[in-house]
Structure 1
């Protein structure tokens, strides 16, 4: 007799059958990590709604821009380590329609049923569509998966005019990809500058200048009002709240993501914006876990790779019967994936009265660095142009390095800073002003 949902699984007992719903990067990482464990599940079944094999979604933007071949997107096949006899089955183009928690059984749209000992929901997310008239018209697209990218690439083959709604990471990557494929592209951004969640006004201005020089048209402080029907069910124009009308053959919505929470909610799991999990990536049902963009830990949901990789490590350890301290929210850094544009940012954007602000700006070289320090430690950074120092700064922010007298050298580079840090005097209190600026134009 199979255990029912009231029976808590024995975390130390080997798992006979693990079912994973979703075949994206989170699921692929989880299976790859389990393949390296000494005591993985005996059998793993992965069910993916997409018909394609697992692929690297991070590379969709450069693929759309024509910078790589389609085959480069594919993720490697899973290879269990020596002695690992896990049987792995992947079912593509299949969608689950029911989770029976009492019998621990799922049903797919094809009528197939699978029993599970543990179930992982890794259903990802979709583009969030704004509640405006015309959003369901033909020619209105998201940009979230390979299907979206293939549709946009085919649309761009015919040229024409595209409007991208959203000037964040995803919107700019989609816009540049379409431009490189030959479309005339406008970007509509609600806030006063691009990537307002990651960049200050100066860095955003440099980014805008670079993108406009390439041929993108960018409109900020703009609010979408409606999408105009051409009378045959397709979009033909974008209307803004100020009355501006922009002709459009295609519209890309890149204003955020919506977690695919429906399978968990339908099954009666505790959900908020996404499926709630604890530090072991376990839902309100102890036999069901959630991972990646469909899950919510505390008040946080996820769209970047780094925290999802951490979640996969925690869950793999849990499923393999290993001790794990559990998942913890950690700061992450942002990098832009547009060819020829180097950008790296982390931490707060706005300076507070207790921040020291260090700024380096070389307009001629297109380089800009702004660091926020609190009590001699790096709290946030925006780097544009030369970003080589970014990962080192992020690591020093995480380990709480106190820069002392090396504070000023942070504007000059990593090597100069490390030289001063090696000096015992680096522990002395800083004596420079609260705001330092190196302006190469003025110099």
Structure 2
């Protein structure tokens, strides 16, 4: 082991920097002066175009300073040109003599091919024109092999295919640099085995299937790509992917043989006999605790890949798999219960799962892999998925057991509030509901009740609405819009005490400011708390949530956590889209795809209020005194029209859209993909949106997508559900329209 490691690099993110005791920031090719010699011996002068940032220095200056600090003689250079001049003189009399070349000639006369042995010499376009070679006899020596027989490993009955390897268009070597450029990764984001359609047909392999490739040296597991660009009997696997997340099943060199050419010593990486088969996952029993968005998405996706594993689901609710986002509209009757269900009974039965409704978990033993449920039954599992979601945060003095006090998290909460308001026997316009919390749920519940003409008061502890999801300007504009709906808002306030009065179905709500509000009901929508108690008690590592790695594994590799309880890199992602993204990745991983791993989710918030288009994506504020961030703002405050983009290092990292959300799908994709904006930077918020007019019935209000838009896209050839959502923008927001999108896709197929 080295005692002291010095790394000189242009990027602090390269794989070697983590080993550095000293990291020296280097200049890039455009930030330094020098020369370059290519493979035809052509020497070019490279001028410095821009100054290097910060403390970054050119390679030459770093070496000179380092040598001087080490007290080495001969490093008293002042410029790169002086170094090059000395180098040229050192070649005098050699076969690569460029002693009469210098920066002035390169700048004024252009490129030269070495040797350049005297001042007037124009360079040497071709060597050995005098037929004298650099050998003792001056004659050319050809190393003729004694045999021209192919000594590569021949295919046989056990390994009938020829594996060839190499690079792909956008990557270089092991991707330590190119792999960090998002734009380059979009072409081929993960390793794929290319196979000829005839070979694929014979082996019952389709694009996307997980394939085991084996040779006498080892095996890999990758997805298949069926293509006629590869010959029958030959398969191709890129060389770039090595060990990922402590797993080397994507590593091509697991397969390649150890043969080398006896003369050139070139390894025989391009020709290895291999066998190919579809990956058959060992049978296992999967237990899922929770029946929300994350669990449902996992089951759906997993069953598309694997139909044989046993799946048992525990739900402590009577009604599993429904859309909580639409509970306010369900409570007011705008949506029926059937519309909230994510899946119908007939389709649910086809998923082949055992569903335990109204059954809670009493204890969990992750070492023995057993679950004791609330009915006293002990269950075993091979893999366990915790998708227990969250519960409402309520103050200690909320007294939810008393009449008129509610939360809004489950169907039972919505049913209780609806029944309670109905039993007041008051017409809607005489009912008064106080909502505690001015976040998404509180405002959407307020809007839903206001739509029924119920009087609404919102009490917000913070000085503005949606303080975590909006900046000050958009929050102020939102408050104006909400107040125009005749919704009263009390900022910088909170509940002190709630009293019952002599009148039935009436409460007196005392605020800390001294204000007393008379109302029929109070609903707490302050926030949520992840349900991690069962995980904690079982000994799993927990913080605010259950800690997971990139494969959504907890501290016990047989136990996974997804959804609102999953804490990845010290962050919780309490939104439906993140839960579904985690479920997708976990389904692929558990089905055998190790190239599928989680990198975190982009936070976003879409407010569903009548006649108010508002959403935020990613980062919404820039740090103080940091010039690396840019804000692009378009505003018409009088009309409450406000749009803002936040850009850093040529990447869009956040946006707020108020007034219309036409750019929502486009901006979400840009933020998630982390693709450099380039010329698109100057088009942001300048009317360049690719948004199409809504065709047919509105299906997705988040992205303004109609049934006609979806049908049109399906007819164009997009028949994969995930791709359909990405292409149209439907389902990329709150996710409440995904079941309808699936229905349209099924009908069009």
Q: TM range, normalised to the smaller chain?
A: 0.7 to 0.9
* Structure 2 residue 482 is the aligned partner of structure 1 residue 211: yes
Q: Which of residues 621, 634, 650 is equivalent to 1:360?
A: 634
Structure 1: any 5+ residue segments left out of the alignment?
A: 1-10, 418-443
- Relative to the length of structure 2, the TM-score reads 0.50
Equivalent residue in structure 1 for 2:552, among 253, 278, 281: 281
Deviation at 1:90, TM superposition (A): 1.0
Match of 1:33 among 286, 295, 301: 301
Q: Is the 8 A contact 2:436 2:494 kept in 1?
A: no
Q: CA deviation at 1:331?
A: 1.9
Q: Distance in 2 between the 1:347 and 1:86 partners?
A: 35
2:540 pairs with 1:269: yes
Task: State the 1:260 CA deviation.
Answer: 1.0
CA deviation map 1:364-394 (0-9, x unaligned) = 6542212233355433221111110122123
| Partner SS, residue 605 of structure 2 | strand
Could you list the per-position Cα deviations for residues 242-292 of structure 1 after superposition, in whole angstroms to 9, with x for gaps in the alignment? 211222321111111011112212222222222222221122222222211
For 1:198 and 1:46, the matched residues in 2 are separated by 33
**Cα distance change of structure 1 residues 41 and 301 upon mapping to structure 2, 3 Å threshold:** farther
Matching residue of 2:371: 106
Displacement of 1:320 = 1.7
Counterpart of 1:336 in 2: which secondary structure? strand
Q: Is the 8 A contact 1:31 1:78 kept in 2?
A: no
Aligned to 1:299: 570
Pairs within 5 Å for 1:378-417: 378-400=652-674, 407=681, 409-415=683-689
CA distance in 1, matches of 2:653, 2:460: 27
In 2: Cα distance, 1:101 partner to 1:228 partner: 46
1:56 aligns with 2:323: yes
Secondary structure of 1:130's aligned partner: coil
Q: Secondary structure at the match of 2:364?
A: strand
Moved more, 119-128 or 104-113: 104-113
> Residue 612 of structure 2: SS of its match in structure 1?
coil
Alpha-carbon shift at residue 91 of structure 1 (Å): 1.5
1:149 correspondence with 2:417: no
Cα distance between partner residues in 1 of 2:445 and 2:343: 25
Q: What SS does structure 2 have at the residue aligned with 1:286?
A: coil
TM-score scaled to structure 1, two decimals?
Answer: 0.82
Distance 1:294 1:235 in 2: 37
Distance 1:154 1:413, change over 3 A: farther
Residues 16-415 of structure 1 mapped to structure 2, 5 A cutoff = 16-37=284-305, 39-40=306-307, 42-77=309-344, 87-132=352-397, 134=399, 137-157=402-422, 158=424, 159=428, 160-230=431-501, 236-352=507-623, 353=625, 354=627, 355-363=629-637, 365-400=639-674, 407=681, 409-415=683-689
Largest Rg, 1 or 2: 2
Return closer, same or farther for 1:406/1:102 CA change in 2, 3 Å cut-off.
Answer: closer
Runs of 4+ in structure 1 deviating by more than 6 angstroms, as ranges, are 231-235
**Alpha carbon RMSD of aligned pairs, Å?**
3.0
Partners in 1 of 2:300 and 2:662 — Cα distance?
30
Partner of 2:319, secondary structure, is coil
How many residue pairs align between the two structures? 403
> Would you say the 8 A contact 1:135–1:227 is kept in 2?
no
Could you tell me whether the CA contact under 8 Å between 2:634 and 2:685 is conserved in 1? yes
Per the TM alignment, residue 229 of structure 1 is displaced from its structure 2 partner at its CA by 4.5
* Residues 298 and 40 of structure 1, relative CA distance in 2, 3 Å threshold: farther
Tell me the CA shift for residue 164 of structure 1: 0.8
Partner of 1:3: none
1:133, CA displacement in angstroms?
6.1
- Contact 2:589–2:596, Cα closer than 8 Å, also in 1: no
Contact 2:573-2:603 within 8 A present in 1 as well: no
For the 8 Å contact 1:371–1:381, the answer to whether it is kept is yes
Question: Could you tell me whether the CA contact under 8 Å between 2:390 and 2:531 is conserved in 1?
Answer: yes
**Partner Cα distance (1:165, 1:391) in 2:** 31
Listed one character per residue, the Cα deviations across residues 381-430 of structure 1 (whole Å, up to 9, x for unaligned) are 2111111012212323344455567655423222499xxxxxxxxxxxxx
Could you say what secondary structure the match of 2:572 adopts? coil
Go from structure 1 to structure 2 and tell me whether the alpha carbon gap of 1:41 and 1:102 turns closer, same or farther (over 3 Å shift): farther
Structure 2 residues not aligned, in runs of 5+: 1-278, 692-749
| 8 A contact 2:545–2:566 mirrored in 1 | yes
Shift of 1:126: 0.5
Q: In structure 2, do the counterparts of structure 1 residues 86 and 218 end up closer, same or farther at CA, with 3 Å as the change threshold?
A: closer
Is the 1:134–1:235 contact (alpha carbons within 8 Å) kept by the matching residues of 2? no
Matched-pair contact (CA < 8 Å) for 1:188–1:219: yes
TM-superposed CA distance for 1:34, in Å, is: 0.8
> CA contact under 8 A between 1:42 and 1:87: conserved in structure 2?
no
CA contact (8 A) 2:327 2:408 kept: no
Tell me how far 1:233 sits from its aligned partner: 12
Work out the CA distance in 2 between the residues paired with 1:153 and 1:18. Answer: 37
3-state SS, counterpart of residue 635 of structure 2: strand
CA distance in 2, matches of 1:265, 1:232: 45
Is the partner of 1:36 in helix, strand or coil? helix
> Greater RCO between the two (CA within 8 Å, min separation 6)?
1
* Deviation of the 1:132 alpha carbon: 4.1
Q: 1:168 to 1:109 in 2, by over 3 A?
A: same
Alpha carbons 2:662, 2:689 under 8 Å: kept:
no
**How big is each residue's C-alpha offset from its partner over 1:112-151, in whole Å with a ceiling of 9 and x where there is no partner?**
2222121211111110112346565432221112111222
- Distance in 2, matches of 1:292 and 1:382, equals 24
Task: Provide the rounded CA distance (Å) in 1 between the counterparts of 2:653 and 2:360.
Answer: 44
Q: In 2 relative to 1, CA 45–244 (structure 1 residues): closer, same or farther, beyond 3 Å?
A: same
